[in-house]
Amino acid sequence: MVSYAVLERARHIQVLALDVDGILSDGRLIFSNNGEETKAFDVRDGLGMKLVQDCGVKIVIITGRTSNIVKQRMDSLGVDLVVQGREDKGIALAEACRQLGVQPTDCAYMGDDWPDLGALAMAGLAVTVPNAHHEVRRRVHLVTQASGGRGAVRELCDVILQAKGQYDTMLQHFLAVRGE
């Protein structure tokens, strides 16, 4: 159950900013024999991102690593802004906000480790996963039940949809398609 305070923060969110490793993926780095990096993304997270975009929320990805896999996946989802290779996520979030014309307090940020602390501190809604570093978990408004790469982003998207009064409307669309 999400608290009223978290729902109130989520109601005002205009931008959902996400880390990749440990949030959109499980945080493991997997390399093939020829040195190519691979990642696994949860399709539920992708659908959640599309649903909040349909409600007018912009999606920003901020990651310390640079990966063609991330670019490809985020392009396929129509993500608004992808910022790669940035160690200081707080500065990157501030720059993304300027570019999108919003305040950091209008953002939800989801991260899991120390490089995310600056962005988490300035975001209007700071969120992490249960397997995040303990210093991160103690500084956020919400810790999801799902782990990174296992539906945690979808869980946050559902909270945003509920807070904006759009969850049931979106669900009804999918039920109508099935004829329920």
Give me the percent of the chain exceeding a pLDDT of 90: 85
**pLDDT tens per residue across span 103-123:** 999 999 999 999 999 999 999
pLDDT at 165 over 70: yes
pLDDT at 180 over 80: no
Crossing angle of helices 43-54 and 68-77, in 10° steps, is: 50
- Give the pLDDT mean for 137-164: 98
DSSP structural state of residue 98: H
Give me the percent of the chain exceeding a pLDDT of 70: 98
pLDDT at 77 over 80: yes
In sequence order, the 6+-apart residues with CB closer than 8 A to the CB of 30 are 37, 38, 39
The pLDDT score that the predictor gives to residue 28 is 83
